[in-house]
Amino acid sequence: MAKEIQVPTLGESVTEGTIGEWLKKPGDAVAVDEPIVSLETDKVAVEVPSPVAGVIKELKAEEGDTVEVGAVIAIVEEGAAPAAKGDEAARAYEQREDGKEKREADKAAPASAAAKEQARDSAQTLSPAVRRAVLEHGVDPSTIEGTGKDGRLTKEDVVAAAEAKKKGSAGGSIGDAAPDQAATASTPSASSDGGEGAGGERREERVKMTRMRQTIARRLKGAQEEAALLTTFNDCDMSAVIEARTKYKDLFAKKHDIRLGFMGFFAKAACLALKDVPSANAYIEGDEIVYHDYVDISVAVSAPNGLVVPVIRDADKKGFARIEKDIADFGARAKDGKLTMEDMKGGTFTISNGGVFGSLMSTPIINPPQSAVLGLHRIEDRAVVVDGEIVVRPMMYLALSYDHRLIDGREAVTALKIIKEAIEDPTRMLIDL
């Protein structure tokens, strides 16, 4: 019996998505609830599972196609799949790949019969895109730790493993470059004097923007065009926070089972500022200003497909431990592609930490319809004057970008000053000053 696979409801106000990657191809066996396709929406990537066990009969859309909610995208022939089906499909696929009948993994004999069986089973469950990457890069999939759902290998896992292997064989000549940077660095190109480099020529690659990247570009450009953006800066002595973390980090981790980070301090400091400057926690809707008596902080998190901003709900009512756990959970799920639309819905204020990437100073762009965003940067020792003496302190530049249509300069400076003072004297957060 044939079963139609439809595009599921993707979230409030989301009516369509883009086929990001087919995880199964016609002829592949599929189990109940096994993902068969990855759909990209404006904010997240969603894996669509099969509601029945059977064999993929037909795919109704290509990778990159835009599909509406409810559209039929695949047909599954319900029923148990022949045991050898996966093996035959895999062998046929490998034989089509430029005469490469076997992967690198097949050349290395497993240490035991059990290891051999495990490697064979792993090969059978590789998605077409991952299998192709394994063949192209010549890596052993059984030695790679998967970061996908249920530990499944992704194409990014294979590429990262190949680049790590390449770096090792090259003696680390590429250094700490990211996988895509490393690949670029290892590609022969024209020399600086205009002549061709040995062994190759300069190349270009055109890659269609993901749906998420298109949405990010559109929203950020829209924020610049609609809002009256302005940024105010201040610097902050991090000595007190660093001392508090050093003193209590072990006790904190033991009691709450989470590391005490900097974001918890800044989230609570922001809550103090937003309470005293409510316009920074509001937004414009038509000819009205919407104020909030709660603080939902959007935290900018780096994900494989771009920057996402999951929301810490009621941050003003949560303690340090709960905030740190929320942030850690968001980071882990963003890496695995498991954030949901609900995770990113709403938000009244945003904190973006460019310091983790080494940024010294920046002018962050607000996250519409919000009216303000706090930018954090790297901590570095600098010479400052304290009580008439030149001393060295761990300093951080803070940036508050805001919509000048709603927030006056005095209010923006006041809000940032409150955050600075709370970080430099964390006791203020305990006694609500």
* Residue predicted with more confidence, 281 or 175: 281
Catalytic residue (one of 87, 314, 408, 425): 408
| Element spanning 180, H or E | helix 179-186
Residues forming CATH 2.40.50.100 domain(s) in the chain: 1-81
Fold assignment, 1-81: OB fold (Dihydrolipoamide Acetyltransferase, E2P) (2.40.50)
- Is 141 within 8 Å of 122 (Cβ atoms)? yes
Strand 349-353 relative to strand 372-376: parallel, antiparallel, unpaired?
parallel
Lowest mean pLDDT among 20-29, 123-132, 214-223, 398-407: 123-132
Q: How many CB atoms lie within 10 A of CB 194?
A: 6
The amino acid at 371? S
Highest mean pLDDT of the ranges 26-30, 153-157, 238-242: 238-242
Lowest mean pLDDT among 33-37, 122-126, 279-283, 330-334: 122-126
Q: Which two tokens stand for residue 144?
A: 């790679």
**137: annotated active-site residue:** no
Coil, helix or strand for 236? Answer: strand
CATH entry, 213-431, from 2.40.110.10, 3.30.559.10, 3.30.1280.10, 3.20.20.10: 3.30.559.10
Positive or negative, the CA dihedral 418, 419, 421, 425 is positive
Q: Give per-residue burial for 329-354: e unless 16+ CB within 10 Å, then b.
A: ebbebbebbbbebebbeebbbbbbbb
Strand 283-285 relative to strand 229-237: parallel, antiparallel, unpaired?
unpaired
Q: Which residues contact 342 (CB under 8 A, 6 or more apart)?
A: 11
Catalytic residue (one of 65, 314, 404, 425): 404
Lowest mean pLDDT among 161-165, 187-191, 232-236, 336-340: 187-191
Residues forming CATH 3.30.559.10 domain(s) in the chain: 213-431
- Is 410 within 8 Å of 421 (Cβ atoms)? no
Which residue, chain included where needed, has tokens 């610049």? 224
Name beta bridge partners: 59. Answer: 74
d(CA 216, CA 211): 9
Q: Which two tokens stand for residue 79?
A: 């029923």
40, with CB counted inside 10 A (0-12, 13-18, 19+), is buried
Q: Which of 183, 266, 223, 178 is nearest to 369 (CA)?
A: 223
Residue 132 has pLDDT above 50, yes or no: yes
* Residue predicted with more confidence, 220 or 190: 220
d(CA 402, CA 47): 36
pLDDT at 198: 54
Coil, helix or strand for 359? Answer: coil
Average pLDDT in the chain? 78
User: What integer is the mean pLDDT of 381-394?
Assistant: 94
pLDDT at 187: 41
Q: How many CB atoms lie within 10 A of CB 140?
A: 17
- Is 279 within 8 Å of 371 (Cβ atoms)? yes
How many CA atoms, within 13 angstroms, populate the side-chain half-sphere of residue 138?
4
**Phi, psi dihedral angles at 432 (to 5 degrees):** 60, 55
Lowest mean pLDDT among 126-140, 141-155, 210-224, 255-269: 126-140
**404: annotated active-site residue:** yes
Q: How far is CA 113 from CA 119, 120, 339, 395, in A?
A: 10, 11, 39, 58
The amino acid at 244? A
Coil, helix or strand for 290? Answer: strand
pLDDT in tens, 102-119: 444 444 444 444 444 443
